[in-house]
Amino acid sequence: MKTDIKALTYEQLNNELSEMSLPKFRTKQIFQWLHKFGCSSFDDMTNISKDLREKLSEKYYISSCAIEDKYESKLDDTVKYLFRLYDGEYIESVVMKYKYGYTICVSSQVGCKMGCTFCASTLAGFKRNLTAGEIESQLHSAQNDLNIKISHIVLMGIGEPLDNFDNVISFLKNVNDENGLNISMRNITLSTCGIVPRIYDLMNLDLQLTLTISLHAPNDEIRSRTMPVNRKYNIDELLTACKAYAKKTGRRVSFEYTLIKGVNDSERDALELASKLSGMLSHVNLIPVNDVEERGNVRGSKQDIIKFQSVLKSKGINATIRRTLGSDINASCGQLRRLKNRGDK
């Protein structure tokens, strides 16, 4: 079994290459080929001897993402990719253009185990974790295809990043590395459904990234019904972890709240949410639910959403409504992989 060389951090690569008795400058060269230039073949590493390239390819492979399908929004500059991996599995990424630059939303797993009732990613089932190299390859493939430089990353695609902790951390180190894409941690957002012990693990690494929590409910009754993870780690445990995280890292924690008509969007829900978050340095991002065919979740009217926001604000809770990009191309993750697996596309 060969190892994904792109999944190794600089330090790990350096250790492996020194075991092969290679000088230190080789680490830098090879790391730059893999991460800065997104090289997907050892043969393209032109300043490395043929002998060494052969040796490397006997021991390692370089992960990549092939573009299976590409959808360009006619409403905005959003581009969505369906990528095919070496084993025929599919993942999705979305590139969005903002005033401050390009943001990519990447997948961290093939499928998801978390089982949230409103989400498409769970429907097609969990297959496997992505390697750190496969997570990063989404950036390389999109950058090459669009001829752009991506400056921001959100881990909000298919999968639960904290359920693939070690690979996600290696990915973060690699994209942040000055010999790689050199993307600042402050430009990276990691979203989790709330795997509490891993939030503490992340906190202890003291990275300067933004942590955002998919909260989606004001109490355990609703949250356990819609997000099974809550039966293991309830809202109080989750918020205690968030407070500890904010204190240790000095970074404000954000909350995603997808509004589903008749499920979690009443005035009472808004008041209960406000009281749960009071006294905490927080920000709530309200997202109108994207209905996924089989799920039957209904989006409220614009007025319903504005009303929910104003109740939060009246209680001193910072809340914004997420702008929907790429709504004509199924831009929310999980939808394309599901259609592909069902054979609809």
Catalytic residue positions? 92, 333
**Among 88-96, 141-149, 233-241, 284-292, the segment contacting ligand SAH (CB under 6 A):** 284-292
Among 40, 63, 103, 258, binds ligand SAH (CB under 6 A): 258
Q: Which is nearer to ligand SAH, 38 or 159 (CB)?
A: 159
Q: Which of 8, 39, 150, 156 binds ligand SAH (CB under 6 A)?
A: 156
Strands (E) in 11-149, as ranges, are: 60-61, 66-72, 79-84, 90-98, 101-105, 109-110, 128-129
Q: How far is the CB of 292 from ligand SAH (least distance, A)?
A: 5
Closer to ligand SAH by CB, 38 or 288: give it: 288
DSSP 154-168: EE-SSS-GGGGHHHH
Note whether 230 binds ligand SAH by CB under 6 A: no
**Span of 3-11, 28-36, 63-71, 188-196 interacting with ligand SAH by CB under 6 A:** 188-196
Instruction: Provide, rounded to whole angstroms, the least separation between the CB of residue 159 and ligand SAH.
Output: 6
Measured from the CB atom, is 287 or 305 closer to ligand SAH? 287
Contact stretch for ligand SAH (CB under 6 A) within 50-58, 136-144, 191-199, 233-241? 191-199
CA pair distance 267, 285, nearest whole angstrom: 17
Q: Which residues are within 8 A (CB) of 50 and not within 5 positions of it... i.e. 6 or more apart? A: none
Could you tell me which residues come within 8 angstroms of residue 135 by beta carbon, excluding any fewer than 6 positions away? 106, 107, 108, 167, 168, 171
Q: Which is nearer to ligand SAH, 133 or 194 (CB)?
A: 194
| Interface size with ligand SAH, residues (CB under 6 A) | 17
Cβ(208)–Cβ(249) under 8 Å? yes
Backbone angles phi, psi at 292, to 5 degrees: -105, 125
Segment interacting with ligand SAH, rule: CB under 6 A, options 58-66, 174-182, 190-198, 232-240? 190-198
| Selected binder of ligand SAH within 290, 330, 337, 339 (CB under 6 A) | 290
The only residue of 124, 235, 289, 325 in contact with ligand SAH, by rule CB under 6 A? 289
- Binding of residue 172 to ligand SAH (CB under 6 A): no
Q: Does residue 192 interact with ligand SAH by CB under 6 A? A: yes
- Using CB under 6 A as the binding rule, the residues of this chain from 103 to 122 that contact ligand SAH are 116, 118-119
The position carrying tokens 């402050």 is: 186
User: HEC profile for 283-331?
Assistant: EEEEEECCCCHHHCCCCCCHHHHHHHHHHHHHCCCCEEECCCCCHHHCC
**Nearer Cβ to ligand SAH, position 56 or 169?**
169
CB 225, CB 203: distance < 8 Å: no
Phi-psi region of 296 (alpha: psi -120 to 50; beta: other; left: phi over 0): left
130-160-174 Cα angle (round to 5): 50
Q: How far is the CB of 251 from ligand SAH (least distance, A)?
A: 17
Residues in Cβ contact with 74 at an 8 Å cutoff, skipping those fewer than 6 apart: 328
Select 138 or 192, whichever has its Cβ closest to ligand SAH.
Answer: 192
Residues 202-221 that bind ligand SAH (CB under 6 A): 214, 216
Contact call for residue 256 and ligand SAH (CB under 6 A): yes
DSSP 110-171: ES-SS--TT-STTTT---EEPPHHHHHHHHHHHHHHHT--EEEEEE-SSS-GGGGHHHHHHH
Task: Provide the binding-site residues for ligand SAH, judged by CB under 6 A.
Answer: 116, 118-119, 156, 160, 191-193, 214, 216, 256, 258, 287, 289-290, 292, 332
